[in-house]
Structure 1
Amino acid sequence: MTNPLSEPPAPPARPAAGGSLDKLKEHIGTAARDERAAALDVWLRQLFPSHLPGVSLLAVGGLGRRDCAPYSDLDLVLLHRGAAGIDRIASALWYPIWDARLGLDHSVRTLPEALSVAHDDVKVALGLLDARHVAGDAALSEELIAAASDQWRRTAVRLVPQLKELTTARWTSHGELAFLLEGDLKEASGGLRDVTLLRGVGRAGIADTMRPAVRAATLRLLDTRDALHLAVGRRVDRLVAQERKAVADLLDIEDPDTLLRRVSGDARTIAHAVDDAWRAIDRLRGGRRRGGPSGAPSRRPVARDVVEQDGELVLARTAIGPVPDPSLSLRVAAAAAIVRLPIARATSEWLASFCPPLPTPWPPAARAALVSLLGSGPGLLPAWETCDRYGLIDAWLPEWARMRSLPQHHPIHRYTLDRHLVQTAYEATAYTREVDRPDLLLIGALLHDVGKGLPGDHSIVGAPIAAEIATRIGLPPADVATVEKMVRLHLLLPDVATRRDLSDPKTISTVAGAIGDPATVDLLHALARADSRATGPAAWSDWKGRLMAELVGKVQTALDTGALPEPPEPDPELLDGTLPVVHLDGDRVAVAAADRRGLLAGVAACLAMHRLDVVGANTVTVGGRAIVEFYTQPRYGSPYDPVALAADLRRVGAGDVSVTQRVRARAMSARGGTASPRVVWQRDVATDAVVLELRAADSPGLLYRVTHALDEAGAEIRAARISTLGTDVVDAFYLVGTWSPADRDRVAAAVLAAV
């Protein structure tokens, strides 16, 4: 054993942070991982007691497989035959590892204890399959390795339910690596943790899980994780946007988007292999429950030309002929999605090889099958992914190849473009009963972002592409025009609802004129909600839903009756009484005070002090009395203290600037942190004002700084709409009066200086 009075040997050196690109590249790849494992083995042997019979040290996890990343933890098992003083031996091993600041997952077991735990704990059982002798009694280590492998072959099928439960929970927590813009390379579905599962299924003899494509995908993901560790300088498995460029450079990949698409493809390969493994296990378990094979398997019809066999969908014998129906692949996919059963691998391969191309226009059966597939609910996502795996989607929609695994760069997006489109169609099923044409809603949802990845505004660019696809599908001209309009205007309702004054008649008349008919308003409303929910949590909120519903109601009224909204009258209670007057009503905060410059900015600062985010504001002056109304939402979800907020607002209304002094100072100190802010003037969109739009990155006190700058520039703000999109904002300010080009330049400069 290492002398406790002497310094323990130094651990292997890790790559120096900030090293040159070429030097860091030397730490990536299979050879580099082997070298790391060998160096760690040597160090651990130096720490291990010498001439100690009946005790051995085994590596499991990444070190056991010799694929440890530059900053991976160590997973070690100290095995013994009941050795005296084993706790002291273990401490002598573990403390130098901790002192070296290496992560350590460790256990101390006898051989029977290790096998007993593995017998009932599937995670331990899988871990022992990677066990490798490092130091000490080699015979003892080999005895455990052989016994654990034999026990796994005998108990694997029994432990499958536990394994599936743990795996499903992990996937639910971490999502699908193939479709996430910032996925976990290890824990997400299709990540490296799933490769451990595949090895286990293969070692149990259930299926051939580690085929060449899976092995190649695994090596590329391991290389990506190596590069990620080196780029960040610590252990991290989530590939976030700001690290993609550095990782791509280390892997000699041309750009971050190409890296993300490669990761997506590798994750898909692994996820598909896991799906195949689950099916093999289910078939084996089903056979055991029936007591083994007894004649031909049962077949149950589920749709025209489609039957269920052993929990999978296969073709009916009558469907296989010299000239198959071109709509067959779509009908099989729709059946799989509706009954929520997988398509058998052999059936998918047959459809990919022998199903003829769809004619143009599509036959009615194919079009009906597509709508059924898109409207199938939870079964849509797995059925679509299976069809994509075997190339069927490309046969239906040749444009899909361009969109597959395409990154979306706005931070509010969670998924790649292809998954976002399918997810939007899935979300749209919640609104099919609210529209006259649910089929057009589902098709529009699938195609709404088809222009992304091409130069120009994706709504404008995508509209003719969607029209071409709708024509090819076989929709009549009137329906093609509706789909084209849905794609072109799919952002209209959310943008107007969150950035415009909905009490302004011009806002309503403009939207009504652009859409043209009530049925399309309903379609766009449903599409906007589905799109927001499919984008990610930052794209949807209750207040956004209320604003869109208010806008839709007013537009429908305008289209039905021609009536436009009258300008709202001020709250009578705010027009009377001693100033200042404060009203708090849920998310509405109203203050009436003597008209003075800086009131709007002061109230905004007070709301920020109470951790309230502003989503809208209205101001009006009546007889020297200024009335400001704010619509807010809690920044962290907790409700505000109404007594404290009302007291502070009264002091602000009375002109006491000390209330918000700290917030003002912090807000002013945050200036300059926004990259490339823009001011855009929107004319002819309001009845009695021009609209100044500020597009910038969000920062503390931004609303206070901008309203203060507008006050100082002499601008009268009639209304404001605050739209936050992830880390960005689009703030719209209605400025009363007509503004000359020189005045606009002066005000814009003041606003940009405040940002």
Structure 2
Amino acid sequence: MTSTDVTKDAEDSGPGGYAAARLRLLTEGARSGPPRRAALAELTDEWLAGLFAAGAGTLRGVSLVAVGGYGRGELSPRSDLDLLLLHDGGDDEAVAALADRLWYPVWDLGLALDHSVRTPAEARKTAGEDLKVQLGLLDARHLAGDLGLTASLRTTVLADWRNQAPKRLPELRDLCAERAERQGELQFLLEPDLKEARGGLRDATALRAVAASWLADAPREGLAAARRRLLDVRDALHLATGRATDRLALQEQDQVAAELGLLDADALLRQVYEAARVISYAGDVTWREVGRVLRARSVRPRLRALLGGGKPVPERSPLAEGVVEQDGEVVLARTARPERDPVLPLRAAAAAAQAGLPLSRHAVRHLAATGGPLPVPWPAEAREQLVTLLGSGRPTVQVWEALEAERLITRLLPDWERVRCRPQRNAVHVWTVDRHLIETAVRAAGFARRVHRPDLLLVAALLHDIGKGWPGDHSVAGETIARDVAARIGFDRADAAVLATLVRHHLLLVETATRRDLDDPATVRAVAESVGTEGTLELLHALTEADALATGPAAWSSWRGSLVADLVKRVSSVLAGDPPAEPEADAPTAEQERLAVEAFRTGGPVLALRAQTEPPAGPVPSADPEPLGVELLIAVPDQPGVLPAVAGVLAVHRLTVRTAELRSLPLPDGVDGSVLLLDWRVAAEYGSLPQATRLRADLVRALDGTLDIAARLAERDAAYPRRRGVAPPPPRVTVAPAASRLATVIEVRAQDAPGLLFRLGRALDGAGVRVRSAHVSTLGANAVDAFYVTGGGGAPLPVEEAASVARGLEEVLRA
């Protein structure tokens, strides 16, 4: 069916015919993208023009005008109709009647309508008072009625916009910045708002408005295609959801991808991120140009007076060989020859980052067009300039993005293409893979004085997740890539081996510190064997913190930092030649003895809460002021069900468990049995900690069976509405071989949920094993818990029994 056929059906059948024709148009599989949007706008134009003609009769001095997105002809399936009924003020009563004849049929069809009725003077006045109204009028398009009235308004509005540009463009820039602060950056969000986020459709519209001012213009290469891609995604989103939404939620991404003929949701997000990156970079360049023009206008009269009417010459200050600063940007010197100087792109980028200045778009384009490839291996200067660029801190980001815009990064580092704009399906990460790598380098630059080889630290930061572009374990793949890249950019074999080790084990310290028993000699020996040297350990410690800080707020805390620092101290001692001491049963402290005696005397649980304020000695990262938590000491006569009872009570009171150690203390001579001592680190999920007396009372009830913890947790869970979303991956329970000689280590990976530790503790208790310690780690929605368990005699479990316990835990979590 052609657009002419659709329009004819709409004209023949009135509103009902329009609705039917609209439905057919939206369900035509062969037509999508710009052709469908144009056809939908044409169909709607004809329908509204028919309504106007029927309602206006002989009325003169009235016109119907499409504004905003409808004015641009960008009608998505659920877009609003932005309409202005323009009149010359001659017959208000007749105009009001005409408005009713127009608006009510639109509402009757369930279409969203943004409407106004104004004279040209009123429209002009409102535009002067409301920037958003003025932006909408810049796209005004005549639909029906008095064409001269519409043309006159368009001319006036455009003239006002151009005359007021020095005042209104800064206002528009602030509006864009405020929206970006509120909505985030489209190119990094897992559930982006295609319209409101930075780099979205509103920013693309703002760039059109800047161009209409004639004051400055946006870079045009790729901008129209990026805008079109976002509009196509919004169309598919409207069809998939049946709603007027711009939020690309997780649960709709696969369906939207299928609608667009893409492989999967990751392919969809990558295209969205690419488009957003083009628009964001165009915005950065455009707003810098606007600022430069406005500054020039403000100083030009004074300069001309000083120069006797002559034209001012821009001042150029040298920054490096072939690189100068001009008018607040870094540009190429007139004598620069990129075709003869392959190091020039890195030298210019390093100079810009060191100066904290943007790299001129024209300079980057010239380098991309004329620069030659670097020899392999790189000359020493090229490697040094790369390290300087990475070590410049926050200014590195804008310079790197400028190089990315012209694909210079992938020319320098071909492996970068696989991580470019790659989404991370993990709520802990706030950046795409490529931006996370740059953010890690920015963080690592702050630790350059802490290590002996800052160049290796910075390059490792850039490469630590480079394996995420390949299938399998990204650390394993990344090790090979890092070794190859290191050789290509000119590091010797020894340095390349260190970089490969850093990439292979960049998660080793934080995972070991939070999931393993640091008092177990096997833990410290395993880390020492993997790291190899004290110099590598020093670099790995700094890389661990930089990586976590660049991941997101949930990935690092004072608690994690203190555990990592403790592990580094122990491993450093082993690498220096001091073997880890075999653990001995520590004598109970005076407080532990007091609690044990009181538990024996009362026959019930006794507990104490103590704030942890002093971190262990050593270089503890301090970027996050989060307290280390609270120590919870519990003594209770040894009996079945203690672990799930304590874990359940803490979950009911919204306490997060970080570590849990359990030990048995013998009772006085002549008394059978023992007291179980639990030494746990906990933190309040919300607000302050509950009183110890309340915890004890609930623990007593949990142990005697009068407190149904499972029911309490289920009731609380049911009180919160579940958010629709993609199903989490299934839980996975494994036995870590050779992780300890003292116990069997069972590692659980599952979706975090209230009472998870309670359920695991109950399952372990039911399996008849004893938990020596538990190490709990939560990253976003994912829990990774490690349990050190033994049999009744205190020895590690036989292999078959350990596997059976792991299978049982997995079945409990899947239920």
Note whether the superposition's TM-score is higher than 0.5. yes
Corresponding residue for residue 584 of structure 1: 609
Of 701-710 and 577-586, more deviation after overlay is shown by 577-586
Partner of residue 802, structure 2? 744
Would you say 1:37 and 2:41 are equivalent positions? yes
Matches within 5 A, 1:548-627: 548-560=564-576, 562=578, 564=580, 566=583, 570-573=588-591, 574-577=595-598, 578=602, 579-586=604-611, 587=629, 588-623=631-666, 624-627=674-677
What is the CA distance between 1:246 and its match in structure 2? 1.3
SS in 2 for 1:296: coil
Cross-structure match for 1:258: 267
Task: Tell me the amino acid that sits aligned with residue 180 of structure 2.
Answer: W
Distance 1:731 1:643, change over 3 A: closer
Per-residue Cα deviation, 1:454-476 (whole angstroms, up to 9, x for no partner)? 23322122112212212222223
1:26-73 CA-to-partner distances (Å, cap 9, x unmatched) read 673223223433454566567775356566553322222221222223
Helix, strand or coil for the counterpart of 1:691? strand
* Paired amino acid for 2:767: A
Deviation at 1:611, TM superposition (A): 1.8
| 1:90-105 mapped onto 2 (5 Å cutoff) | 102-105=111-114
Alignment-derived partner of residue 352 in structure 1: 368
CA separation of 1:160 and 1:113: change in aligned 2, threshold 3 A: same
Give, in whole Å, the separation in 1 of the partners of 2:389 and 2:122.
51
> Which of 539, 546, 553 is matched with 1:523 structurally?
539
Amino acid in structure 2 at the alignment position of 1:425:
A
**Pairing 1:314–2:352 present:** no
Counterpart residue identity of residue 663, structure 2: V
Alignment match of 1:362 (pick from 378, 392, 399): 378
Contact 2:642 2:703 in 1 (8 A): no
2:680 matched to which residue of 1? 630
Deviations 1:407-453 (A, max 9, x none): 33344333322222112111222322322222211110001112222
**CA distance change for structure 1 residues 84 and 15 in 2, over 3 Å: closer, same or farther?**
closer
Q: 1:546–1:107: structure 2 CA closer, same or farther, 3 Å change rule?
A: farther
**Aligned residue among 285, 308, 315 for 1:276:** 285
Q: For residues 219 and 594 of structure 1, do their structure 2 counterparts lie closer, same or farther at Cα, with a shift above 3 Å needed?
A: same
Letter in 2 for 1:333: A
Letter in 2 for 1:36: L
Residue 596 to residue 432, structure 1, CA distance change in 2 (3 Å): same
Q: Deviations over 1:320-363 (max 9, x none)?
A: 38x63322111100111122222223322222233332223322
User: Does the C-alpha gap of structure 1 residues 749 and 276 become closer, same or farther in structure 2, counting only changes over 3 Å?
Assistant: closer
Partner of 1:754: 812
Matched, 1:535 2:563: no
Q: Do the aligned partners of 1:61 and 1:131 also contact (CA within 8 Å) in 2?
A: yes
Q: What is the CA–CA distance in structure 2 between the aligned matches of 1:333 and 1:234, rounded to whole Å?
A: 45
**Which of 166, 180, 192 is equivalent to 1:171?**
180
CA RMSD of aligned residues (A): 3.3
Deviation at 1:256, TM superposition (A): 3.0
SS of the aligned residue for 1:582 comes to strand
User: What is the CA distance between 1:561 and its match in structure 2?
Assistant: 6.4
Q: Which amino acid aligns with 2:498?
A: T
Q: Which amino acid aligns with 1:30?
A: P
Q: Which of 659, 668, 679 does residue 733 from structure 2 map onto?
A: 679
Please tell me whether the aligned partners of residues 501 and 721 of structure 1 are also in contact (alpha carbons under 8 angstroms). yes
Instruction: State the number of aligned residues.
Output: 742
CA distance in 1, matches of 2:206, 2:26: 34
C-alpha distance in 2, partners of 1:15/1:553? 73
Residues 1:103 and 1:699: Cα distance change in structure 2 (over 3 Å) = farther
Deviates more, 1:551-560 or 1:58-67: 551-560
The aligned runs of 1:487-502 (5 Å cut-off) are 487-502=503-518
Secondary structure in 1 aligned to 2:787?
Answer: strand
CA displacement, residues 210-230 of structure 1 (integer Å, 9 cap, x when unaligned): 746322222222111111122
How many angstroms apart in 1 are the aligned matches of 2:588 and 2:102? 75
Please identify, of 475-484 and 651-660, the stretch whose mean Cα deviation from structure 2 is larger.
Answer: 651-660
Cα deviations across residues 566-616 of structure 1 (Å, max 9, x unaligned)? 565555323332442121234333322111111111111111112223232
Q: 1:553 to 1:31 in 2, by over 3 A?
A: same
* Cα distance in structure 1, aligned partners of 2:74 and 2:717: 50
Contact in 1 for aligned 2:660/2:773 (Cα 8 Å)? yes
Match of 2:485 among 460, 469, 472: 469
Are the equivalent residues in 1 in contact too, given 2:419–2:469 (CA < 8 A)?
Answer: yes
Aligned counterpart, 2:77:
70
Code of the aligned partner of 1:219: R
Q: Deviations over 1:212-271 (max 9, x none)?
A: 632222222211111112222222223344433211211112333333332233223323
Displacement after TM superposition at 1:538 (Å): 3.5
The structural deviation recorded for 1:734 is 0.8
Residue 681 of structure 1 contacts residue 691 of structure 1 at CA under 8 Å; is this kept in 2? yes
CA distance in 2, matches of 1:87, 1:497: 73
- Stretch deviating more after TM superposition (126-135 or 561-570): 561-570
Partner of 2:356: 340
Counterpart residue number, 2:762: 708
Q: Residues 655 and 594 (structure 1 numbering): CA distance in 2 closer, same or farther, change over 3 Å?
A: farther
Where does structure 1 lack aligned partners over 5 or more consecutive residues? Answer: 1-7
Tell me, yes or no, if structure 1 residue 729 matches structure 2 residue 772: no
2:670 corresponds to which residue? none
Change (3 A) 1:640 1:230: farther
Q: What is the deviation of 1:98? A: 6.1
Structural mapping, 1:377-526, within 5 Å: 377-526=393-542
Contact 1:181–1:415 (8 Å) recurs in 2: no
Q: Which amino acid aligns with 1:311?
A: G
Check the 8 A contact 1:14/1:71 in 2, yes or no.
no
Structure 1 residues 719, 112: CA separation in 2 closer, same or farther (over 3 Å shift)?
same
**Worse overlay, 533-542 or 426-435:** 533-542
In the superposition, relative to structure 1, how do residues 109 and 543 fare at CA in structure 2: closer, same or farther (>3 Å)?
A: farther
More deviation in 62-71 or 375-384?
62-71
Residue 711 of structure 1 and its aligned partner are, at CA, apart by: 0.3
Query: Structure 1: how far apart are the matches of 2:318 and 2:391?
Result: 21
1:78 Cα shift? 4.7
Is the Cα contact below 8 Å between 1:244 and 1:256 reproduced in 2? yes
**Superposition deviation, residue 312 in structure 1:** 1.9
Unpaired runs of at least 5, structure 2:
1-13, 302-309, 612-628, 667-673, 721-726
- SS of the aligned residue for 2:446 comes to helix
Q: C-alpha distance in 2, partners of 1:544/1:94? A: 60
Q: Structure 1 112/548 Cα, relative in aligned 2: closer, same or farther at 3 Å? A: farther
- Give the TM-score normalised by the residue count of structure 2: 0.83
In 2, Cα distance between the equivalents of 1:185 and 1:60? 20
Are the counterparts in 2 of residues 15 and 70 from structure 1 also a CA contact under 8 Å?
A: no
1:125 partnered with 2:134 = yes
Name the CA shift for 1:656/1:254 in 2 (closer, same or farther; >3 Å): closer
Mapped partners of 1:374, 1:264: distance in 2: 23
Task: Provide the rounded CA distance (Å) in 1 between the counterparts of 2:20 and 2:132.
Answer: 29
CA distance in 2, matches of 1:447, 1:538: 22
Alpha-carbon distance between aligned partners in 1 of 2:499 and 2:405, rounded to the nearest angstrom = 27
